[in-house]
Structure 1
Amino acid sequence: MSLEVASRMALNGPMLGKSITTAIPAVLSGRALTLTRAASVPVLQAQQQRRQLSVTPRPRAQGNNSGLLGVNNSNIPPSYFQRPRLPANTIIRFVPQQTAWIVERMGKFNRILEPGLAILVPFLDRIAYVKSLKEAAIEIPSQSAITADNVTLELDGVLYTRVFDAYKASYGVEDAEYAISQLAQTTMRSEIGQLTLDHVLKERAALNTNITTAINDAAKEWGVVCLRYEIRDIHAPEGVVAAMHRQVTAERSKRAEILDSEGQRQSAINVAEGRKQSVILASEATRSQQINMATGEAEAILLRAKATAAGIDAVAKVISQGKEAAQGAVSLSVAEKYVDAFAKLAKEGTAVVVPGNVGDIGSMIASAMAVYGKVGDAQAKTMAAKALEKHNQDGEHSESSLNDAETPVQEMKRSMLASFEDARQK
């Protein structure tokens, strides 16, 4: 029993459903090989359909290519709405995975066939639409768009979509792919018109997100969801590109000059800081040196003063004791210093003021001794005053004590004069 016989039996029966259920076992039991071959034909057809492109040109009739108005349409491109060939009704069909078949019975929507085995009613059921539930990539052709700063750009992109409702995708729009492609183009032009060129180049990710959101708001009634939109290429006019290149070059030159100036500034700061530290260290060294020298000079002056004081004390002690040898030595020392002073005056300057009797050495010595005598008289008076005070305290022999106090001075004068006289004779 062949498939044609089974179909006739199903149509002639009182109940269409029962005829089908009785005809199918007969076919399966009678001619298994024929059924296998018949069932393999739809599978091969479905595989060939999947290999075809989503848009295929409709074959033209041979002969006259004129349209309804008599216009020759041989050069007219195929319509975007042309569909691939639909699967035929062979009663038993195998629906591929991730595919939805829309079945119409007598021109009205009947059901959606899910992947797997499907049985159709001959002559009544028709596969009207075939929708793929996989993610599809739709190429958006290049188009012109004007930015907010009046720059014309050429942009193209790729749109990724997926059908989530086969019924809406079939009956909600004539061609969902074409509609969503046009919507993507208009939305992209609208979004770019709100941004400047710099923002378009910098905020491409935000622009893609805005376009995706706008497409989903409009495409949800078509049973299609936009997963993402990617702008592929952005082409600006040559003048704008040249200006951008000059701007980038100027910006990089500016950065290089800034970095160079920063380096020079830091170098000058480092040099100045080094000089500052050097001056500080040198001043610290000079200060320490001066402090050390001052400390040494102070100690030397103190030691000299102590030595001078000790010498003066020793001389005063000897003089107070009235030793004649000491007094003669003092007189000789005073005379030598007096003569040395005149010698220094002659060496240091060309004009020298000297006494009138400079050639008379004896008179010079006498003058020196006179000075010493005055000093001796003062010392003698001091000593006499002390002795008088002492005698006044005792209350006895005040006048004789004063005369006795003058006697050592006169004796010292005589001894000094004698010594100077001996020196003059020599």
Structure 2
Amino acid sequence: MIQQTINNIGGDSNLDIVILAIWGAIFLFLAYKFVQAICLVPTKSAYVVERLGKYRCTLEAGFHILLPFIDRVAFIQDLKEETIDVPPQECFSKDEVNVEVDGVIYIEVIDSLKASYGITDYRFAAMQLAQTTTRSVIGTLDLDRTFEERDVISAKVVEVLDKAGESWGIRVHRYEIKNITPPDTVKNAMELEVNAERERRAILAKSLGDKASRINRSEGLMTEMINISEGEKQRRINSAEGKAAQIIAIAQATGDSITKIAIAIEQPGGQQALDLQLTEQYLQQMQGLSQANRKVILPANLLDFKQWLAISGIK
């Protein structure tokens, strides 16, 4: 009896421990739920709250308290702008050239409710739509234009994503194409074409430069010849004008001297003075001729100076 009583007491003690453990677990679970009901929303984030499985509200940044067991945070949306890499994909251009294109999308959540319930995964959907739109746009362009029309491709993708984003609660800011990679054969052909175009432009530039230099040289020679001829013309004009002025001045001086001589001859003793001056000049000339070893004709009477003058034709 004593042993059975002891066993009964031991069994009751174990049962109490189990019950205490259960109540402790329930208390901890309730404490966890009450702590979980305290919600701190960071800046540029939005928490979508459901009550008993139905949308209740969207919590903005700040401190919030939810009802335990009834409210729960179903979705957490990041409101900051984010980038999504679009993986490389193969596209065919209008001239049937296979190119590989990849890019990056810049999007932002503007409506947390639509981003949570409007689509399952807006990031994956935006990436897929960007790929399909890129393929369709590149299919309307030749290979050469795909490298030139990147802005057109980006604008078209942004336009399509914006229309879809209205129901997804997102805004697409821009789409940038990172790489357009053609096959190696096409790349080699393009490099040869680029090199040929560069050589053509170099030859054209060289020929144009040579043409311009020849034109400049010919124009310089023409200008030089014109300047020389104009200078020679002006020199001759100046020389002629100088000679004309000299002749006029000599003529005027000669006329004045003759006039003065005539007036002087009319004066008393003027004729004798003239004869004397002429005789003196003649003798000086005779002296010069004799010194030069030239033949001189003399009159018979060397003392008759008047006969000398008559021979010389002076008088």
Distance 1:168 1:211 in 2: 21
Give the structure 1 partner of residue 43 of structure 2: 97
Give the structure 2 partner of residue 181 of structure 1: 127
Deviations 1:352-382 (A, max 9, x none): xxxxxxxxxxxxxxxxxxxxxxxxxxxxxxx
Distance 2:232 2:123 in 1: 92
Give the structure 2 partner of residue 158 of structure 1: 104
Give the structure 2 partner of residue 218 of structure 1: 164
Q: CA deviation at 1:270?
A: 2.1
Query: Which amino acid in the other structure matches residue 209 of structure 1?
Result: A
Instruction: Choose between structure 1 and 2: higher strand proportion.
Output: 2
RMSD: 3.3
Q: Secondary structure at the match of 1:104?
A: strand
Give the structure 1 partner of residue 298 of structure 2: none
Give the structure 2 partner of residue 201 of structure 1: 147
Distance 2:144 2:101 in 1: 15
Distance 1:295 1:173 in 2: 106
Give the structure 2 partner of residue 109 of structure 1: 55
Flag the 1:3–1:206 CA change in 2: closer, same or farther, 3 A. Answer: farther
Deviations 1:289-346 (A, max 9, x none): 766579969x69xx9xx9xxxxxxxxxxxxxxxxxxxxxxxxxxxxxxxxxxxxxxxx
Q: CA deviation at 1:191?
A: 1.7
Distance 2:61 2:26 in 1: 26
Give the structure 1 partner of residue 179 of structure 2: 233
Give the structure 2 partner of residue 391 of structure 1: none
Write out aligned runs for 1:57-96 (5 A): 90-96=36-42
Distance 1:111 1:2 in 2: 33
Choose from 280, 287, 292 the match for 2:226. Answer: 280
Q: Secondary structure at the match of 2:67?
A: coil
Q: Secondary structure at the match of 1:121?
A: coil
Flag the 1:280–1:173 CA change in 2: closer, same or farther, 3 A. Answer: same
Q: Secondary structure at the match of 2:94?
A: coil
Query: Which amino acid in the other structure matches residue 150 of structure 2?
Result: R
Give the structure 2 partner of residue 262 of structure 1: 208
Deviations 1:196-255 (A, max 9, x none): 222221232332222111110112101111111111111111122112212221222122
Cα contact 1:7–1:122 (8 A) shared by 2: no
Choose from 130, 141, 151 the match for 2:87. Answer: 141
Identity of aligned residues (%): 38
Q: How many matched pairs? A: 229
TM-score by length of 2: 0.62
Give the structure 1 partner of residue 280 of structure 2: none
Distance 1:295 1:123 in 2: 126
Choose from 49, 65, 81 the match for 1:119. Answer: 65
Query: Which amino acid in the other structure matches residue 177 of structure 1?
Result: R
Stretch moving more, 97-106 or 233-242: 97-106
Query: Which amino acid in the other structure matches residue 135 of structure 1?
Result: E
Give the structure 1 partner of residue 5 of structure 2: none
Q: CA deviation at 1:176?
A: 1.2
Write out aligned runs for 1:24-43 (5 A): 39=35
- Larger Cα-atom Rg: 1
Give the structure 1 partner of residue 116 of structure 2: 170
Q: Secondary structure at the match of 1:270?
A: helix
Deviations 1:95-137 (A, max 9, x none): 2222222222222112222222222223222322221111111
Flag the 1:120–1:286 CA change in 2: closer, same or farther, 3 A. Answer: closer
Q: Secondary structure at the match of 2:95?
A: coil
TM-score by length of 1: 0.47
Q: Secondary structure at the match of 1:168?
A: helix
Distance 2:213 2:119 in 1: 72
Flag the 1:272–1:164 CA change in 2: closer, same or farther, 3 A. Answer: same
Give the structure 1 partner of residue 271 of structure 2: none
Deviations 1:124-167 (A, max 9, x none): 22322221111111111100111222221101111111111111
Give the structure 1 partner of residue 276 of structure 2: none
